[in-house]
Amino acid sequence: MKLNRSSAVDCDVLISGAGLMGSAFALALARSGLRMTLIESEDPPEDTPATPERVSAVNLASQQMLIRLGVWDNLSDHSKTPFETIETWDAGSAGSIRFDAADLGLKALGHIVSNHALRLALHRALEASATHSIFFNQEINSLEHSDEGVRVTLANGNQLNTRLVVGADGPHSMLRQLAKISMTDADYGQTAVVATVRPSEHHGNSARQRFLPDGPLAFLPLANGRCSIVWSVPNDRAPDLLKLDDSAFGKALEKAFDQRLGQIQTVSPRISFPLQRRHADTYIGDRVALIGDAAHT
């Protein structure tokens, strides 16, 4: 959807960012009768996800929220894999911990959910709502406060008037910067290497994590026996893991994971991202609020 050059759109709440957090927040407000506008800097989500597919661990409380929003049942079984147990152990000792849903009378402790599938489901639910507008490929350039609210100017010059601006635009939030909300951050000196793999032994719907001397390695269960792996390593080691061929990377995973799931076949490209702690000094400002990674990571 595009704005005309001279148009001004009035709304009660303007949300910067239409990812998982911004879309879920908008959907949660949909029944309130408030008029909402979402501004998203990227394209609409496509039907086909990128690889490797990023995932999130959705606990039971979050699952209940998604059920109330009418989103959960629209996720295919392929995109949400239950984990019935959580197993963690230390590489340097015999210490281990295991949590089992059966001990709590539950079917699962949570689900590993495709971020892409969840975002699609959220957007489709929003499309069925008449209380919002969403503009893709747009960015906020400036904020101007008045007694009545906030005038938001977009990069293309269009202006929108709103009572409240909500930043859901991620860890590098432009809205947070425009609102002059400072951020405290710390670099852990670690990089997460992420990939989708297929072990020779089925994961058994268990989320597993081994604590290694230089960082943890997690295997998260996906559909069809696949796993999403997240390997946290020192920054200087990550490039070496990324440049290994698939066979060598699989063998490195097998060794690091103590052969718990047998042979490992890599079925996606690898990506990496730095692990950093960021925390906004306040979550609220003058008619501004921060949520999700815009507030803290």
Query: Residue written as tokens 């269009």?
Result: 158
Give a yes or no: residue 2 inside a domain. Answer: no
- Total count of domains within the chain: 2
Residues whose CB falls within 8 Å of the CB of residue 111, separated by 6 or more in sequence, listed in order: 57, 58, 63, 80, 81, 82, 83
Closest CA to 118 of 22, 221, 224: 22
User: Are 152 and 165 found together in one domain?
Assistant: yes
Q: What CATH code is carried by the domain that includes residue 215?
A: 3.30.9.10
Range of the domain at 191: 81-110+187-276
Taking alpha carbons only, the member of 199, 193, 297 closest to residue 243 is: 193
Encoding tokens for residue 109?
């402790």
How distant, in Å, are the alpha carbons of 3, 39, 287 from that of 8? Answer: 9, 14, 19
pLDDT tens over the chain, length 297 residues: 333 333 445 899 999 999 999 999 999 998 888 999 999 999 998 877 777 789 999 999 999 999 999 999 999 999 999 999 999 999 988 889 999 999 999 999 999 999 999 999 999 999 888 778 899 999 999 999 988 899 999 999 999 999 999 999 999 999 999 999 999 999 999 999 999 999 999 999 999 999 999 999 999 999 999 999 999 999 999 999 999 999 999 999 999 999 999 999 999 999 999 999 999 999 999 999 999 999 999
Judge whether 144 lies within some domain.
Answer: yes
Bridge partners, 83 (sequence order): 110
CATH of the domain at 171: 3.50.50.60
The pTM (predicted TM-score) of the whole model is: 0.92
Rounded-to-10 torsion of CA 283, 284, 285, 291: 70
